Amino acid sequence: MPTDFALIGHQESWRAAADVLALLRGPDHPPIPDEEVPEILPWIPPRAVCRIEVRSVLGSTVHGLYIDSFIPPDRLGPAFLRENLGRVREAAAYASREGAKIVSLGGFSSILIEGNIDRLFEHAGAIFTTGNTLTVAFIVQGVEEMCALQGRDLRSATLLIVGATGDVGSGVARCLAQRVKRVLLHARNPERLNRLEAELRLVGVTADVAPDLAHLPARADLVICAASLASPSLLLDGIATGAIVCDAGYPKNLSSGSRGARVFSGGLGQVTAGMTFEPDIRSILYNHPAPHVLHGCLLEGIALALEGRFEAFSQGRGGITPQRVQEIEAIAARHGIHLAPVTLRRTATVN
């Protein structure tokens, strides 16, 4: 069976990591005790966990692999950068050896390699994409959908983008900044913030920028969290009660709690013609009430494989434009890959 695509990912919780290990060991072996999983996981090299078949509404199918990099959930911070880059490169080499024509980098894998995807090109025969352009498309579509469901007018919104200078955050800014009343941009790097603000000013958008959320001058009623955080630790203060919040980070950005915010997970898509996992790890990869849902970063490689376009569509260099977003949207939609049903997470405390 050909390997048309590969998906490289990792688990964002120890529970999910333990479930993957149990699946690899098989039903004839007892599960590893939870307290031993953190000791064992760092010693496991990247490897394929399952095979995937994805169907297009046009009748074609593609086949691929899900490769887990086995990055430990508590080692996503800067101190482990070199180790994690090595794991992503090992996973990329594995995908290439398996004959994958296009490889999507999921979760922290794309953040780690952002702007340096050419480091993976040494693995001849495989093309790599961060998948960030389709992620941006589904974030924007999700915001539009949630505003409609909540009876909000996007044009009157004060939009806050957290993690605004990353590949996803800046792409979202280019797509939405001209469609809202006011724009607030937050990121940790002041120089990059100022560059993005200057770029938006060229298209007629005046944005307020700050590396400290507390210094932004207005309360946001629409928030998109796309920061590259190592854990769900973001606390949002100064947002409007009942604000719509799109948590688009992986791991999720927001800490839990209650201000009446309408929080939903952004960047998710659904394969309407269906997909099959062998063995079936869908319940580990995503927690969504609808079937056949994956992150947009993974679905981009699948959509390109269905289209027969084996190219590095997203390279993680801050170059996501509305035109590129529309292009990948059209490719995905042609094969029946659309925004996943938007559902509210439980009411969250975000202050």
**According to the model, what pLDDT value does residue 230 have?**
52
Tens digit of pLDDT for each residue in 233-253?
Answer: 566 767 888 899 999 876 666
Please, which pLDDT band fits residue 126 given cuts at 50, 70 and 90?
A: confident
Lowest mean pLDDT among 35-39, 149-153, 223-227: 223-227
pLDDT range class, residue 184, cuts 50, 70, 90: very high
Q: Examine the pLDDT at 347 and tell me if it is beyond 80.
A: no
Per-residue pLDDT, averaged over 40-49, amounts to: 94
> Given this model, what pLDDT does residue 349 score?
47
pLDDT tens digits, 252-304: 666 654 467 888 999 999 999 999 999 988 888 777 889 999 999 999 999 99
13-33 pLDDT per residue, tens: 899 999 999 988 888 888 899
Share of the chain above pLDDT 90, in %: 61
What pTM was estimated for this model as a whole?
A: 0.92
Tell me the range of 97-101, 115-119, 302-306 where mean pLDDT is highest. 302-306
* Domains of the chain with CATH codes: 5-133+269-339 (no CATH), 136-265 (3.40.50.720)
- Cα-based distances in Å from 225 to 71, 130, 251, 265, 303: 22, 18, 11, 10, 25
